[in-house]
């Protein structure tokens, strides 16, 4: 697990930087799932504008980074999950962190406040291992 500290207003920006770093490090775009705890990522909104069927088909095809709401009920699993903690409501953040952890096969990158997700991830005092 990796933590990139950010307040909710900057979490999305930090997540985009994390995705760029993962790609530069050699990760395939199809290995990466970006989940938002709050408002949707702009790319997710763009892709959904083409219709739900086309949007979800991209997940199944697995050829590109996929952007989704952490609270989506569809099954999603990728090697790397980047969680954008862009919400301040504890219940919503906790649920998003639990889902993100379950969707990550190898690595979870949390972009947000460590103290907000630490209780869910079993790390008292806001400590999340890198």
CATH topology of domain 2-120: Rossmann fold (3.40.50)
Q: Is the pLDDT of residue 127 over 80?
A: no
Mean pLDDT over the full length of the chain: 91
Mean pLDDT computed over 26-54: 96
SS (H, E, C) the chain: CEEEECCCCCHHHHHHHHHHHHHHCCCCHHHEEEEECCCCCHHHHHHHCCCHHHHHHHHHHCCCCEEEECCCCCCCCEEEEEEECCCCCHHHHHHHHHHHHHHEEEEEEEEECHHHHCCCCCCHHHCCCC
Mean pLDDT computed over 30-47: 97
pLDDT tens digits, one per residue of 42-94: 999 999 999 999 999 999 999 999 999 999 999 999 999 999 999 999 999 99
Domain boundaries, the chain: 2-120
Q: What is the pTM of this model?
A: 0.91
**Picking from 31-35, 97-101, 114-118, which range would have the lowest pLDDT averaged per residue?**
114-118
């Amino acid at each position: 697990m990796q933590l990139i500290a950010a307040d909710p207003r900057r979490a999305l920006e930090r997540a985009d930087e994390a995705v760029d770093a993962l790609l530069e490090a050699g990760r395939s775009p199809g290995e990466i799932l970006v989940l938002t705890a709050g408002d949707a990522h702009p790319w997710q909104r763009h892709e959904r504008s083409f219709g739900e069927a086309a949007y979800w088909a991209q997940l199944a095809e697995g050829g590109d980074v996929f952007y989704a709401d952490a609270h989506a009920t569809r099954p999603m699993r990728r090697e790397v999950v980047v969680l954008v903690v862009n919400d301040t409501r504890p219940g919503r953040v906790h649920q998003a962190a639990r889902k993100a952890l379950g969707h990550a096969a190898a690595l979870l990158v949390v972009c947000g406040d460590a103290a907000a997700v630490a209780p869910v991830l079993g790390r008292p005092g806001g400590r999340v291992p890198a």
